[in-house]
Amino acid sequence: MSARNPGMKLDLGWISKVRVNTHAVLKRAQTIQGHKTPKKQWQAAWLLKAVTCIDLTTLAGDDTPSNVHRLCLKAIQPVPYHLLNKMDMHDQGVTTAAVCVYPSRVADAVKSLKAANSSLAVASVATGFPAGQTPLETRLQEVRLAVADGATEIDIVINRTLALTGQWEAMYEEVRQFREACGDAHMKTILAVGELGTFTNVYKASLVAMMAGSDFIKTSTGKESVNATYPVAIVMVRAIRDYFLCTGHKVGFKPAGGIRTAHESLLWLTLIKEELGNDWLCPLLFRLGASSLLADIERQIYHHVTGQYAAYHELPMA
């Protein structure tokens, strides 16, 4: 992973001055959605780039050691070898960025990856995911247990009540404690933007999360009614840019929830390239949280190589 974001003292003056121009944000989002995406071999190259930025995720109540094992094998070989071979990419180490599971499944993922001799990152959601409404000590303990089981990245959720009621000191303090509990594991902070009400609130919550030492900020748990949208992303990446200009520390960005098509993944890469620049176009600073996106990207790559579309059953999970 990249250099850590050490955070900074909470700057309430900066936070209180924040105003977001909703009309301008929506207009910018429209231009992103209207972008023409690359075609042919350029599209295939961008899609492989998207694959390397995916946190391949399973967060289901019926997760078992066997489906976590399948997820890990898929993350190690996300695109079938014969397709990569045809593109002369078979020896480029194309994997997803990480696998993401519940804390109780971290040990299973670590075991599967170790058995496959893979150093792929294991991310775990924690802190009372998805609602963040359990007692603070329980949330902290969940982080510690996930790290002890071998998680190298922790996706925490903020307590939305604190953000909605403007209790920025309390939110800052909680996130600082989560960061401490993470130890050497990198921390991604989920804002659950669909529950924050306004763009201004999203921007403020982004700033507070970064000031408290988040290595990434993430849009959603995937469990809210509104997840990763382009307008919200623009607000968040501009907060990342402002924080970088102020502190010199680069914070990563992770949209998650509802990202299902190859076309959407290309638009997300375009947004990052235009708003933050090429430095952010790598798994160290950009992730796509997704469970079903990879299947559509595979179909597009299959089409690029063979001229035909594969049925989903021809591109199995592992």
Report in angstroms the alpha-carbon separations of 211 from 44, 126, 233, 306: 37, 20, 18, 48
Six token digits for residue 283: 């798994």
Beta carbons of 315 and 299 less than 8 angstroms apart: yes
Three-state SS annotation for 22-47: HHHHHHHHHHHHCCCCCCHHHHHHHH
Which residue, 29, 31, 11, is CA-closest to 20? 29
Residue 218 three-state SS? strand
Measure the CA–CA gap between 227 and 206, rounded to whole angstroms.
15
User: What residues does 256 pair with on adjacent strands?
Assistant: 289
User: What residues does 286 pair with on adjacent strands?
Assistant: 253
Which residue, 206, 191, 192, 188, is CA-closest to 151? 188
Would residue 17 show up in a list of annotated catalytic residues for this protein?
no
Which ranges constitute the DSSP H helices of 116-188? 136-148, 160-164, 168-182
Would residue 218 show up in a list of annotated catalytic residues for this protein?
yes
Q: Which residues are CB-neighbours of 119 under 8 A, at least 6 positions away?
A: 113
Six token digits for residue 284: 């160290």
**Catalytic member of 218, 223, 250, 273:** 218
Residue positions annotated with a catalytic role: 218, 254
